[in-house]
Structure 1
Amino acid sequence: MDGQKVIVIGAGISGLATVYYVKKKRPQARVVLLESSGRIGGKIKTVRRDGFLIECGPEGYMARKPTLTKLIKDLGLGDQLVRSNTGTYYIYVNHRLRRMPEGSVMGIPTKLLPMVTTGLISPIGKLRAGLDLLIPRVYQDRDISLAEFFGRRLGPELVTNMIEPLLSGIYNGNLSDMSLEATLPQFAAIEKKHRSLILGMKHIQPPKQAGAPKKAEGRFLSLSCGLDVLTEKLASFADDVMLNTPVSHVEPGKAVLSDGTAIEADAVILATSPKQLGPLLDFPEAWGLTNDKRTTTATVAMGFKKASVESLDGTGYVVSRKEGLNITACSWMDRKWPYTAPEDCALVRTYVGTAENAAIVEESDEAIEEKALTDLRKVGKIGTPLFSVITRQIDNMPQYTVNHNQRVQAFEQALENRKGVYACGAMLHGVGLPDCVDNAMHVAEQVGMDLKVKEKAVIE
């Protein structure tokens, strides 16, 4: 049967990976990619300027998650894979940069001496964190917020000064809203097995190797050619790519465009942002995900002459929210990824916008750059930038609030009643690039099986 058609809505990493995996499973199917904006890539956007390579969205991904690495190698881009440099990471708290204590994992201590000697936590805060060794389990198979879980285990000071800045740098959310089960289920599992997070984290750390100490490897991977090369490569597997083509709504067997045109298909896959899910499907469980909290953020990438930036041994820092700065984190990109800047230059990327301070992202480029520079100069010495590139993500970062998994389960059960309609993306099972690719692969496998069954039924 040669006439099967698949529509994929959304040209971010989830939609593009879905296109690739559907074509891999059903090479004879015609795959049409619909994108409401004028470009592919979604949050992935790479800018090349004056010898700099600037990732405006994700800069890389966690190396321990294998699906994306395999995809990159399958696409013939394996020789472009690079691992991030390692270096000291800092937290800006109490008006100064302080090193992360050695052995800390997501702010949770696994070594005694570095925790005792760190200036990040007061003596009372350290004693309170130590009660983790004694108190009973907090998680009782009922979803709770990260703030409640870590606060009850380790105390409010360690959460405010260490855990919250680190997690906000990743998820940009409010720990009081964020779901333990959906965001960091591994910590619930560690507590369930070991009771104490400190003992549990220490137990799962890899044993020391005998002989000479092994040089630490960076935890992230990226592409030296730019992540947009990955998205362009994936888009080439679509039979048709239709940009500037917003979809009004989706029904089993068709997608209706905003101009009223209906495109029929054997399968329609939604790989959209969460705010589009409810309007496209218009059933309560879809609106439940659309109406969940999202955050607005911006990145400010600035190029400098290397001599004008204070040299520190490290790759960046996060900022405690109690400091009242506009920036939430800063990455020294040329130290983390040396290929991103000319040898005599530095590339600094800062992040602005939080759940409580989204309004700053709506300001002009000039105002955002000035506020970012003001904050950077409170932290360290920095000169005048050669240029800046500002990228906004408006109301577009999904937040996995408490009971997120239950809402996703209800949505997926409701979606099963719309035969031939599927969904994947960051609003469901993980916001990282590998999570999105993994989700896309599983959805494409289901689509492939369903199309095969449909083909067989027609033949018979």
Structure 2
Amino acid sequence: MNELKQIAIIGGGITGLAAAYYAKQAGAHVTLYEANDRLGGKIKTIHRDGFVLECGPDGYMARKPTLTDLIQELGLDGQLVRSKTGTSYIYVRQKLRQMPDGSVMGIPTKFWPMVKTDLFTWRGKFRAGLDLVLPRVYHGTDISLDTFFRTRLGPEVVESMIEPLLSGIYNGTLQDMSIESTFPQFITIERKKRSLILGMKALTPPVQAGATPREAGKFLSLRNGLGTLTEALRPAIDQLYLNTRVAAIRPHEVELSDGTVETFDGIILATSPEALGPMLGLAEAAQLSDLKRTSSLTVLAAFKETDVAALDGTGYVIAKREGNALTACSWMHKKWPHMAPAGMALLRVYIGSEHVPPLLKEDDETIAAFALDELRTIQHVGKPLFTKVERHLDTMPQYEVGHKAYVRSFNRALAALDGVEACGAILDGVGLPDCVDSAKQAVERLNVTPEVLV
């Protein structure tokens, strides 16, 4: 056991809470500073009239094990639920159209479903097929997702399927997004197989003759909401300071906005990116603080199930060229049946980032009415029982082309500050498991009894 006993965590979102947990498991005394009046960050669960309302993330990718391992360690594995599956849709050319069978993250892997789909014209299908013979696009220098996919598969597949599916993850545009920082697996696939279609097909497990494909949801969540995770991690904090802003971080010192200075053996920054520059006073940190971030609005609407058009599936994404202000609609009661009482429906719609600024000056009722009007151009819904609007302001970091270089520069500069580590979405990925991974690695880098954490 080494001497890193007093640990400060700056930030009380999922990353900071996970860092507190792993530091506590290693035997440290944990102090956490949070600028807002609540823990959880983007995770926010509300229970109302039998509904479970997830105002932030509603689940996480099951294939990433770190968060599931943490949930099991916390004794919450009995609450784990897997998402339901069904037909996936894309709203394009003023109609909800089924996603072609065999499409993986927008990449077609089966011949006949691609031939039969009405998502693309014959010209678009032929152009996508050229992926089978085209040379590699990535040559060791970061490029945008738009450049990569448009060159490999053509404009129709990008605009009608890939862009609606992938841009929503980062609440941004493919033209800005770095392939190295967002989906580096496609670089690996192209390097190994050259063709994306052949590469994704090789990754799809074959179905044995006579066997029925087993549909399993790709996401996991908690029956009582992800807010349960926040509550379960809270006991790892020995001293909690809410509504407390940190003005500066120096080796082994935390200076608060009121001038108070506290000393610690180790400090972990799990704060929002805009705070990194002012806190650290490093040019490389200021560079991360200045990177583009986007805002979003989500609207949850509860209905009687009879007042919502019945479709098989869990929701749909919307092609940007349709001109609708919404980017997607999730049928939460079908994706997560535990989120709505029997006979009820729960929809969550996402308003595109370019429509957010003018709406921010409006009240929640106006925003909800606007979102429902946009929704009704796509599907029938009646009068909601209630709505809940959630505003996410400047919270989504944009991994633009060259992002990895910025992160490398920041990490090199941070290494000069003894006993200070950083973690979070701006550095290691926006998903909940990515944030937990990042927190665990930050604690390990502080050498807080690493054998306990392995």
Classify the TM-score, shorter chain: over 0.9
**Residue matched to 1:218:** 217
Partner of 2:35: 36
Match for residue 23 of structure 2?
A: 22
Distance 1:360 1:153 in 2: 37
Shift of 1:241: 1.1
C-alpha deviation, 1:449, in angstroms: 4.2
For 2:336 and 2:449, the matched residues in 1 are separated by: 42
Q: Which residue of 1 aligns with 2:55?
A: 56
Using the TM superposition, give the Cα deviation of residue 451 of structure 1 relative to its aligned residue in structure 2, in angstroms.
9.7
- Partner of 1:121, secondary structure, is coil
Within 5 Å, give how 1:97-176 maps onto structure 2: 97-176=96-175
* Residue in 1 that maps onto 2:245: 246
- Give the secondary-structure state (helix, strand or coil) at the position aligned to 1:379: coil
**8 Å contact from structure 2 (residues 298, 351) kept in 1:** yes
1:335-414 to structure 2, matched below 5 A, reads: 335-355=334-354, 357-414=356-413
Cα separation, 2, equivalents of 1:211 and 1:100: 24
Counterparts of 1:113 and 1:131 in 2: how far apart (Å)? 16
How far residue 442 of structure 1 moved from its aligned partner, in angstroms, is 0.8
CA distance in 2, matches of 1:164, 1:382: 26
Q: Distance in 2 between matches of 1:415 and 1:98?
A: 49
Could you list the per-position Cα deviations for residues 365-392 of structure 1 after superposition, in whole angstroms to 9, with x for gaps in the alignment? 1221111101110111100111111111
Please say if residues 9 and 271 of structure 1, whose CA atoms lie closer than 8 Å, have aligned partners that are also in contact.
yes
Give the counterpart letter for 2:332 in structure 1. M
2:126 counterpart letter in structure 1 = L
2:86 corresponds to: 87
Task: Decide whether the 8 Å contact of 1:302 with 1:349 is kept in 2.
Answer: yes
Within 5 Å, which residues of 2 pair with 1:285-300?
285-300=284-299
Answering whether residue 445 of structure 2 is matched by residue 446 of structure 1, we say yes
**One-letter amino acid of the counterpart of residue 32, structure 2:** L
Deviations 1:380-412 (A, max 9, x none): 110011111111110110111111111111100
| TM-score, structure 2 as length reference | 0.97
CA deviations 1:249-305 (Å, max 9, x no partner) are: 111111111111111111111101111111111211111111111110011001101
Equivalent position amino acid for 1:17 in 2: A
For 2:59 and 2:392, how far apart are their aligned partners in 1?
17
1:272 is matched with 271
Q: Distance in 2 between matches of 1:116 and 1:362?
A: 46
Alpha-carbon deviation of 1:356? 6.7
Higher alpha-carbon deviation: 142-151 or 117-126? 117-126
Q: In structure 1, give the amino acid aligned to 2:37.
A: G
Range 205-214 or range 322-331, more displaced: 205-214
| CA pair 192-3 structure 1, distance change in 2 beyond 3 A | closer
Equivalent position of 2:261 in the other structure: 262
Return the offset for 1:360: 2.7
Of all paired residues, the percent bearing the same amino acid is: 55
Contact 2:90 2:318 (C-alpha < 8 Å) held by counterparts: yes
Deviation for aligned residue 1:211: 3.9
The offset of 1:215, in angstroms, is 2.3
Deviations 1:49-90 (A, max 9, x none): 000001100000000000000100010000000000001111
- 2:120 is matched by which residue type in structure 1? I
| Alpha-carbon distance in structure 2 between the residues aligned to 1:184 and 1:355 | 23
**Letter matched to residue 100 of structure 2:** P
Counterpart-to-counterpart distance in 2, 1:214 and 1:95: 31
Cα separation, 2, equivalents of 1:98 and 1:152:
24
Question: Does the aligned pair in 1 maintain the 2:4–2:448 contact within 8 Å?
Answer: no
Partner SS for 2:382:
coil
For 1:363 and 1:86, how far apart are their aligned partners in 2?
A: 35
Q: Which blocks of at least 5 consecutive residues in structure 2 are unaligned?
A: none
- Answer yes or no: is the 8 Å Cα contact 1:333–1:340 preserved in 2: yes
Letter paired with 2:58 = E
Name the SS of the counterpart of 1:23 in structure 2.
helix
Cα distance in 1, alignment partners of residues 4 and 271 from structure 2: 25
Cross-structure match for 1:322: 321
SS at the partner of 1:448?
coil
Please report how far the alpha carbon of residue 210 of structure 1 lies from its aligned counterpart in structure 2 after TM superposition: 4.2
Q: For residues 356 and 183 of structure 1, do their structure 2 counterparts lie closer, same or farther at Cα, with a shift above 3 Å needed?
A: farther
Aligned equivalents of 1:93, 1:13: Cα separation in 2: 36
User: Following the alignment from structure 1 to structure 2, what is the Cα–Cα distance between the partners of residues 388 and 258?
Assistant: 37
Q: 1:137 & 1:399 partners in 2: Cα distance?
A: 25
- Which residue identity lines up with residue 96 of structure 2 in the other structure? L
Indicate if the aligned counterparts of 2:4 and 2:266 stay in contact, CA closer than 8 A: no
Separation in 1 of the partners of 2:362 and 2:280?
33
